[in-house]
Chains A and B, each alone.
Chain A
Amino acid sequence: MQKRLHYLQDKLVMAIEIEQPSAHVGLSKVAVSDTHGEDSPYFAGWKAYDENPYDELSNPSGVIQMGLAENQVSFDLLEEYLEKHAEASSWGKGVSGFRENALFQDYHGLQSFRKAMASFMEQIRGGRAKFDSERVVLTAGATAANELLTFILADPGDALLVPTPYYPGFDRDLRWRTGVKIVPIHCHSSNNFQITPQALEAAYNDAEAMNIKVRGVLITNPSNPLGATIQRSTLEEILDFVTRKNIHLVSDEIYSGSVFSSSEFISVAEVLEARQYKDSERVHIVYSLSKDLGLPGFRVGTIYSYNDKVVTTARRMSSFTLISSQTQHLLASMLSDKKFTENYIKTNRERLRKRYEMIIEGLRSSGIECLKGNAGLFCWMNLSPLLQNQTREGELALWNPMLHEVKLNISPGSSCHCSEPGWFRVCFANMSEQTLQVALKRIQNFMEQIRERDGNLVISSQ
């Protein structure tokens, strides 16, 4: 059966929708699957926000967006830079540089930009690791970088091991078009959700039991949603594990510049350097400017691989997802200014730390504890004492009123595949301090209501 469509002058209008046995006749399996993940509660909260967004003046009772890991605390530094540096905006050689820039589609990327990225990555790691600009591959965002790497490291049906809880977008980025599976490495609050060698082995065995070939481990360091860095000893254990199994390690270090104290972040790059790069050809780092610089719209991602073949192949594949030359030019300029980047990194860190302390203190005074964090744009909040049922349903029964009554969009741990119910990721850097205070007040009121209503801090499912 076919749909009949009536054409108006301007628009295509669906006149009569005729029920079809298979609405998606003729599309690919990828197109009709729901592996894009948008039906998860993670996205439902966003929709609620979109429909009723908080605004200090025009909509003070709207939903406050705390589900978006954006960094808005340091824009003034970027704007100030632009105001002082005309060359970033004027295409380099006055407007005549426009032509050269507009034509530049070399998948190696602007050399000046690659160099600036490599140098920025070094600065973030306090100079404790070196990055060769020839190994920097550019992609349009970390979303593209993670998918691209998966295409290169695994075949359809194979798996990557990913520690839980993890960023919900991985379900789409690593699996959707690649056909690759995610097998979780279960982490628990009993040891602050750290990755243990036992958990790694268990995940590997889980995959084997399902007849699935494991091609690599993908970690996020600092972690999303935990907001904490991975310890050196854990990194060593993970490296030993992947070497033993002869598989890959992808370290998504997208929040590396958002660590509150520089000395607390250990990059896998440092561990490799200490090992004189032995067995390093299995290691690949993903980075982006979306979090540290707060520029998600610019689509700037990178893959840094210690494997020559991966660099070559990734570079070829990046043709599908190159960074706009206009944006490369702007950022090359900005990131090569070492004085600017040093000040930015330091100031940004400090502001995030302050923000973090503010939210932790506010939550604590409401009787809520969080996982001890030291990085990121969010905290990992423990509401498990409030659950009537220590189940996913119990967690969602708490999340629902949070969203629709308290009007805070926070992300339930189940959407991050956390094995323990009751944890929530709460973002704090995508709003003004005033808005954060409003959010904290709402939480405080909510907690008081619960105490009054139930007396023993339990949320009943409705």
Chain B
Amino acid sequence: MVVLSKIATNDRHGENSPYFDGWKAYDMNPYHPTKNRDGVIQMGLAENQLCFDLSEDWIRKNPKASICTAEGVDEFKNIAIFQDYHGLPEFRQAVASFMGRVRGGRVKFDPERIVMSGGATGANELIMFCLADPGDAFLVPSPYYPAFDRDLGWRTGVQIVPVHCDSSNGFLITKAALEAAYEKAQEDNINIKGLLIANPSNPLGTVLDRDTLKSLVSFVNEKNIHLVCDEIYAATLFSTPNFVSISEIMQEMEYCNPDLIHIVYSLSKDMGLPGFRVGIVYSYNDTVVSCGRKMSSFGLVSSQTQHLLAAMLSDEEFVGNYLEQSSKRLEKRHNAFTKGLAKAGITCLKSNAGLFVWMDLRRLLKEQTLEAEMALWRVIINEVKVNVSPGSSFHCSEPGWFRVCFANMDDETVEVALQRINAFVRQEKDGNNKAQGKRTKCLPKKLQLSFSFRRYDEGLMSPHIMSPHSPHVPLSPLVRART
């Protein structure tokens, strides 16, 4: 039997995590408003589906932006042969300008520093290849996006050292926690090369305040390590406090070594275009820009897509309206959802950004343990039939929290989800012992899903395992929903 590499045979792709069982449950039994009202509602996917009407309208009105239409085909040849890793100049311009708009014009971005990558997934991996050697580590505040384990470490060999944050202070990152994590890593002979933060945060939906950001900058300057800021949710801000980008801090701080500062960005969340694979690395370090650009050969953005987006994002009127509308609609959806949860007696961490809420179900846990959280999660998947993401999959040190996405469905589906959650909570309150007894009898110890009509075995020729980032869109109610 011919042998594969260690990377190919280890687990760092992350797909063996129990986290994926929620997706599988959804894939096998997806909710549909008419055809499958009992199906699982997908609330584990952080997608922004609230503003497609605006993008569609723009596309209809701008046929020249597509190289396939009669109006645009004269550009076909030039675009099709363009593979320069600098990217189309107009694309870089448009992205730099868009990034500035998202930050309220408070900072300008230099198109010469824009480096492309295969989505933010590619961007995060690329920046690690530039900054760290195999075996090195990055500090990452938890709870954090589960796929960071794969993105930062699978092929790079870089490790994540979590900086645990908990509800005692609203999950804020403290200097003490950073120092503690850094010191412990030193003791364990782990070489920390940098700190990676997501701001706005996934899964918290909160933004970092100015003082915290400044203290992070001081921290990395002190230790002479890098700071990578994943600002992929920057335009999903829907309420105060304001979003402060690291780029603004750079302008304000008297002393900050720019060679340490790098931003990761993407259009997957802010513009709802995950399929287009637009990842951006923006570094203030010239060597990283140069090296990163060469590496971008491994994940360039399709020139066809660059061409379309260059036109779309440089349409200032469209961008202004889109950002405004998106923010409004997210706020409306967030409020409707959190109010509905509140009616059921469920609170969430106070948040003002993101496509999800960080739901507090600690009081529903039998005991404050990981096992109890997983047990509750299985019930939510199997009985409430809502795919939410357990806090443990985000490496949250405190059990009982769940991330629930709310922007990837229509209003009606939100209602159904809220009704189900409400009913479940009432059932928990009313028939506690009785229900518990009943449930523990039926619940298998481990989440066993039967795969009678889907081939799951990896040994077979045609694996059907879906990535968590890839809903089986044709079955999703969202395809037929209108916004």
A residues with CB within 8 A of B: 2-3, 5, 7, 9-12, 14, 23-32, 36, 38, 70, 72, 75, 78-79, 82-83, 88-90, 95-96, 98-108, 132, 134-135, 140-141, 143-144, 147, 151-156, 158, 172, 176-177, 215, 246-248, 281-282, 290, 294-299, 307-313, 315-317, 319-327, 330
Contact = CB atoms under 8 A, between A and B. Distances in A.
Contact of B5 (A99, A153, A325): A153
A319 B79 contact: no
Indicate the member of B2, B47, B70, B125 with the most A CB atoms within 10 Å: B2
B298 A147 contact: yes
B449 interface: no
B134 to A, nearest CB: 7
B59 A98 contact: yes
Nearest to B275: A325
Interface stretch (B115-123, B181-189, B206-214, B363-371): B115-123
B295 interface: yes
Nearest to B307: A297
Contacts of A153: 4-5, 8
B252 to A, nearest CB: 10
Given A31-B129, A143-B298, A79 B459 contact: no
A14 B285 CA distance: 11
Given A29-B133, A105-B470, A326-B302, A10 B83 contact: no
Nearest to A318: B118
Nearest to A290: B83
A89 B125 CA distance: 32
Interface string B169-210: 000000000000000000000000100000000000000000
Contacts of A27: 130-131, 285, 287-288, 291
Contacts of A290: 83
A28 B304 CA distance: 33
B294 A296 contact: no
Contacts of A24: 287
B60 interface: yes
A38 B460 CA distance: 42
Given A75-B77, A134-B462, A140-B302, 10 more contacts: A29-B133, A32-B287, A100-B479, A135-B462, A177-B298, A215-B3, A248-B2, A309-B4, A311-B461, A322-B119
A188 B5 CA distance: 32
A30 B287 CA distance: 12
A98 B304 contact: no
A143 B296 CA distance: 10
B155 interface: yes
B80 interface: yes
Interface residues of B, number: 100
Interface string B135-157: 01000000000000011001100
Contacts of B300: 140-141, 299
Interface in B270-289: 272-277, 284-288
A32 B133 CA distance: 11
Contacts of B479: 99-100
A320 B276 contact: no
A324 B258 contact: no
Contact of B308 (A23, A31, A313, A326): A326
B301 interface: yes
Nearest to B52: A99
Given A30-B129, A103-B49, A104-B473, A9 B108 contact: yes
B427 to A, nearest CB: 34
B225 interface: yes
A425 to B, nearest CB: 18
Given A36-B294, A308-B458, A320-B125, A102 B275 contact: yes
Contacts of A308: 458-461, 463
B259 interface: yes
Contacts of B15: 316
Indicate the member of A108, A313, A322 with the most B CB atoms within 10 Å: A322
Nearest to A106: B470
B136 to A, nearest CB: 8
Nearest to B130: A31
Interface string B19-43: 0000000000000000000000000
B154 to A, nearest CB: 8
B287 A246 contact: no
A101 B479 CA distance: 10
Contacts of B121: 319-320
25 contacts: A3-B259, A27-B291, A75-B77, A79-B77, A82-B76, A88-B68, A95-B60, A98-B55, A102-B55, A103-B274, A103-B275, A105-B274, A140-B298, A143-B297, A155-B6, A158-B5, A290-B83, A297-B80, A297-B82, A297-B83, A297-B303, A319-B118, A320-B298, A324-B305, A326-B275
B129 to A, nearest CB: 5
The 6 closest A-B pairs by CB, nearest first: A89-B68, A297-B303, A325-B275, A106-B470, A134-B462, A324-B302
A323 B277 contact: yes
A31 to B, nearest CB: 4
A30 B80 contact: no
B306 to A, nearest CB: 8
B318 to A, nearest CB: 15
B431 to A, nearest CB: 40
B302 A327 contact: yes
Contact of B467 (A23, A31, A38, A316): A316
B288 A31 contact: yes
Contacts of A79: 73, 76-77
B49 A99 contact: yes
Given A78-B80, A101-B275, A282-B2, A95 B302 contact: no
A154 B6 CA distance: 8
A26 B225 contact: yes
Interface string B466-481: 1101111110001100
Contact of A12 (B3, B83, B151, B284): B284
B299 A23 contact: no
Nearest to A326: B305
Contacts of B6: 155
Contacts of B465: 312
A311 B82 CA distance: 29
B305 A75 contact: no
A407 B472 CA distance: 54
B432 interface: no
Given A75-B76, A319-B469, A144 B299 contact: yes
Given A11-B110, A105-B470, A140-B300, A296 B4 contact: no
B272 A309 contact: no
B132 A298 contact: no
B466 A106 contact: yes
A332 to B, nearest CB: 13
Contact of A327 (B70, B134, B304, B463): B304
Indicate the member of B82, B151, B155 with the most A CB atoms within 10 Å: B155
Contact of A105 (B55, B277, B462): B277
Contacts of A311: 461, 463
Contacts of B7: 151-152, 155
B335 interface: no
Contacts of A320: 118, 121-122, 125, 151, 155, 298-299
Contacts of B298: 140-141, 143-144, 147, 177, 320-321
Contacts of B275: 101-105, 324-326
B329 interface: no
B56 interface: yes
A102 B5 contact: no
B99 to A, nearest CB: 14
